[in-house]
Structure 1
Amino acid sequence: MEGAASNLNEPPARTLDPALQKKHLLMLERLSVRHQTRKSNSSNSSSLDSTSSFLDQFAESKRSIESQLAESRINSTGDSTQPKSHLASISSSISDLEKLLAENSYFLPSYEVRSSLKSISDLRQNLENVTNELLPKKKFSFKSKSFPKKSDPKEPEIKKANEILPSNFTVRDSPGFRNKKNEILIQNFKRLEIGEFTLSDLDSCEVRLVGTVNALFVHRLKNCKVYAGPVTGSILIEDVEACSFALASHQIRIHYAKRSDFYLRVRSRPIIEDSNGVRFAPYCLEYEGIEEDLKAAGLDEETGNWAKVDDFRWLRAVQSPNWCIIPEEERAGNVVVVNTDFDNLDS
C-alpha cells in the first residue's frame, strides 16, 4: 500500500501516446471555450440584473417624491417656514435621484437614460410649480464686482427675456446673473446657502463661480466665458453661441449650442441636442480649495467622460459631426481664480 501511495505522488510518465495527447489538448480547448461562454453569459445576466435593479430603485424613489409633492399641496398652511423646509427636502431627494442616474448610466441602455432624465426634469418642474403655489416669490440680488468694458454702440442688444424660447426650457426664478453685458461677474457660493443658480441673457461677459451649488442653469449666452466650481446635481445649458465653459457636474445637458468650447469633468456622458461646432476638453479651473469642493461633490475622480459625448440628434453608428475633441495645441491653459477676486464681495 505504501508503494501504491508513493506512485500516486510521482509525475506521470512521459511516454503518453501522441494521439491521446492531441485528444487531451482538444478537450482542454473545448473546456476553455465553454468557460469563456459561461463568463460572457454571466456578465450579460449581471448587466440585465443591474438595469432591473436600477429601474426598480428609480421608480420607487420617483413615486416617493411624487407623493411628497402631493402631500405638500394638501397639507399647506399659512406658515411659510414648514413648506419651505419640506420643499428643500424634496429638492434634495431629486438631486439624489439625479446622482443615482449619473452613477449607473454607464451600463444603462440609452433609451433608459433619456427616459430617466425626462422623469427627473418633470419632477423638477412639478417642484417649481408647487413652490410657486406655496411660497411667495422673492427677488434675489447679489452684489458683484463688475468691471465695465468699453461698449460698442454697433453691437446688437441682448434678446429680450420675454422672447419665445427655442424649446421647453424654463427660465428659473432663482439667484443668478441676468441681463448683463460687457461685465465680469463673480460669485462665491462658500458664503451662501443656494440650491440653484441661473445665468441668463448675458453678452460678452466673464463669469467666475467658486464653491459648490446643487444645480446650474445657463440660458441665452453669447461671447461669454463661464468658469464654475463643482455642481452636485445637473447643469442644463440652452441657446449659447461663441462661448467657453469650464464646468464640473454629475450630469451636463447642452441644447442649441453653436461654436462653443466645453472644458468638463462629469460623472455621466455629456448630452448634446440640436448643437453644432461644439468642442470638448478636460476641466481646467483652479482656485484655493477646489480639490475639497470636488471631493465633497463626488467629482474628485477624473472619469474621462468629457470625451464621450452623446448626440441625441445623431442616431448613426459613426461619429457625430456636431462635436469634436479640442486638439491639445488649441486648448486653453488652466484658469486660476485667486482669493483676492472675492475680498470685497458682499454675502
Structure 2
Amino acid sequence: MEEEGSSDLSNPNLKKKHLAMLERLSNRQQSLSHRSSSSASAASFESTSSFLSRFAESKRSIESQLAQSRLADPSDLKPQLCEISAAISELEKLVAESSYYLPSYEVRSSLMTVADLKQSLESLIPKKKFSFKSKTAKSSLIEASKPPETEPERRNPDLEASHSLVLSSSQGFRNNVGQVLVKDLRGLEIGEFTITDLESCEVRLLGCSRALFVHRLKDCRVYVGPVVGSVLIEEAENCTFVLASHQIRIHNARGSDFYLRVRSRPIIEDCCRVRFGPYCLRYKGIEEDLREANLLEETGNWSSVDDFKWLKAVQSPNWSVLPEDKRVGMIDISSLGSEGQEDNGEL
C-alpha cells in the first residue's frame, strides 16, 4: 500500500494536481485570515468612531452649558453648576470605561479635554459665600464635603461640594478616621460604591459591585471583591489596594501599592512611587464572584501599566513591579464580614 501511494505521487500529472490543490487551500486560508483581520479592525474602528461621536456631543453640550452659566445671574448659578459637574463626571466615566479599546492617543486627548472642562467649571465657582447645599433639611451635601474641624483647610470647599453632589447618589464610606469599614455586597443590588475622605482606615468589600470610585485616601488599606465595570482612584497617599476589575485608572497617587487583577492595562496619571503586584484577596465564595464578573482568569495585566504623563520609550520611573519579597501574602477576609463599622447607604 505504501509503495503504491508513493508510485501515485511520483506520477507527474498526479503530482501537479496535488500541488495545485495545496495552493488553492493555502490561498483560501489566507483569504479567510484576511477577512477575519479586516472584520476585527472594522469593529475596533466602529467602536472608536462611536466613542468619539458620543464624546464630542457631550463636550459640546457641556461647553454650551458653561457659556450660558457665564451669563447667568449669580443667584441662579448653583443648580446650573451642579448639572455641569454631573455631566463632566459622566464624560470622565465614559472615557474610563472605553479606555480598554481606544488608542492611547485618544484616551490621553480625551482626559486632557475633561481636565480643561473641570478647570472651566472651577473658574465659575464664586470664591466666597457659595455652596451647593440644598435648602431642604434632608440634604447634607455641604456637611459631607467639609473636612473635619480639626483638619487644616487645604482645598476649595466650593469645588469639593460640586464633586460631592455626584458621589452622593451612591452607597459608600465617607469621612472617617481610624475605622474598620465593612460591607457585604452579596445578595444586594449595588451599582456604584464610593470610598472618599478616609484616613488610617481599613475597608473590606465582599461581593461584586458595578463600579468603584475612590477619592482622597491617606494611610488606608482597601480590600475589594470583583468590580464588574471600572475603578477610578483619585488622590491616594501611602495606601494599599487589593482590587479586581475590568478597567482601573489611578490619578494622583503617591507611595501606594496596588495588587490587581484587571482585564485591560491599568492607567496611571500624575502618580509617583506606586508599585504593582498580583491580586491576593480571599474570602468564602470569591471564586464564584470572580467568575460572575468574568475575572476568574489571571491576565497578567497588573504588570503592564500605562503612564499617560510619560511619553518616552523607556518605562516610566513613576511605577514599578513589587519585588516578591516585598509583597503581602494572601489576605483572607472571610471571617471579617461582621466586624467593624458597616455602611448603611446614607451620607
TM-score normalised by length of structure 1: 0.63
Partner of 1:170: 163
Helix, strand or coil: the match of 1:265?
A: strand
Partner of 2:198: 202
- Describe the superposition over 1:155-194 as per-residue Cα deviations: whole angstroms up to 9, x where unpaired: x965658546999993421322222112211112225433
- Describe the superposition over 1:311-332 as per-residue Cα deviations: whole angstroms up to 9, x where unpaired: 0000111111110110111110
2:94 pairs with 1:101: no
Helix, strand or coil: the match of 2:163?
A: coil
What's the CA shift for 1:12?
Answer: 6.0
What's the CA shift for 1:62?
Answer: 7.3
- Write the distance in 2 (CA, Å) between the matches of 1:166 and 1:47: 43
Paired amino acid for 2:198: L
216-225 or 188-197, which moves further after superposition?
188-197
- Describe the superposition over 1:103-149 as per-residue Cα deviations: whole angstroms up to 9, x where unpaired: xx35x421234467789999xxxxxxxxx9xxx87569xxxxxxxxx
Cα separation, partners in 2 of 1:36 and 1:241, compared to 1, 3 Å: farther
Partner of 1:73: none
Contact persistence 2:182–2:339 (CA under 8 A): no
- Match 2:47 to one of 51, 54, 61: 54
- Write the distance in 1 (CA, Å) between the matches of 2:306 and 2:312: 11
What's the CA shift for 1:271?
Answer: 0.6
- Write the distance in 2 (CA, Å) between the matches of 1:35 and 1:320: 44
Cα separation, partners in 2 of 1:200 and 1:340, compared to 1, 3 Å: closer
Contact persistence 2:275–2:321 (CA under 8 A): yes
Helix, strand or coil: the match of 2:7?
A: coil
What's the CA shift for 1:256?
Answer: 0.8
Partner of 1:79: none
What's the CA shift for 1:298?
Answer: 2.1
- Write the distance in 2 (CA, Å) between the matches of 1:305 and 1:99: 16
| Higher CA-based Rg | 1
Contact persistence 1:249–1:265 (CA under 8 A): yes
Partner of 1:286: 282
- Describe the superposition over 1:221-272 as per-residue Cα deviations: whole angstroms up to 9, x where unpaired: 1111111111122111111111100011111111111110000111111110
Contact persistence 1:245–1:262 (CA under 8 A): yes
2:331 pairs with 1:338: no
2:237 pairs with 1:241: yes
- Write the distance in 1 (CA, Å) between the matches of 2:271 and 2:216: 14
What's the CA shift for 1:339?
Answer: 3.7
- Describe the superposition over 1:262-320 as per-residue Cα deviations: whole angstroms up to 9, x where unpaired: 00111111110010100001111111111121222222222111111100000111111
Cα separation, partners in 2 of 1:63 and 1:282, compared to 1, 3 Å: same
Alignment of 1:44-193 (within 5 A): 45-56=38-49, 58=51, 101=98, 105=100, 108-114=102-108, 158=151, 163=156, 170-171=163-164, 172-173=167-168, 174-190=170-186, 192-193=188-189
- Write the distance in 2 (CA, Å) between the matches of 1:98 and 1:293: 26
Paired amino acid for 1:205: C
- Write the distance in 2 (CA, Å) between the matches of 1:307 and 1:168: 36
Paired amino acid for 2:45: S
Helix, strand or coil: the match of 1:306?
A: helix
Helix, strand or coil: the match of 2:47?
A: helix
The alignment-based identity, stated in percent, is 49
Contact persistence 1:61–1:97 (CA under 8 A): no
274-283 or 228-237, which moves further after superposition?
228-237
- Match 2:269 to one of 268, 273, 276: 273
Contact persistence 2:184–2:337 (CA under 8 A): no
Partner of 2:302: 306
- Write the distance in 1 (CA, Å) between the matches of 2:298 and 2:228: 15
Which consecutive residues of structure 1, in runs of 5 or more, have no partner in the other structure?
1-6, 15-33, 67-92, 123-131, 141-155
Cα separation, partners in 2 of 1:233 and 1:339, compared to 1, 3 Å: same
- Match 1:231 to one of 227, 231, 240: 227
- Write the distance in 2 (CA, Å) between the matches of 1:215 and 1:281: 21
* RMSD (CA atoms): 5.0
- Equivalent residue pairs, number: 282
Partner of 1:127: none
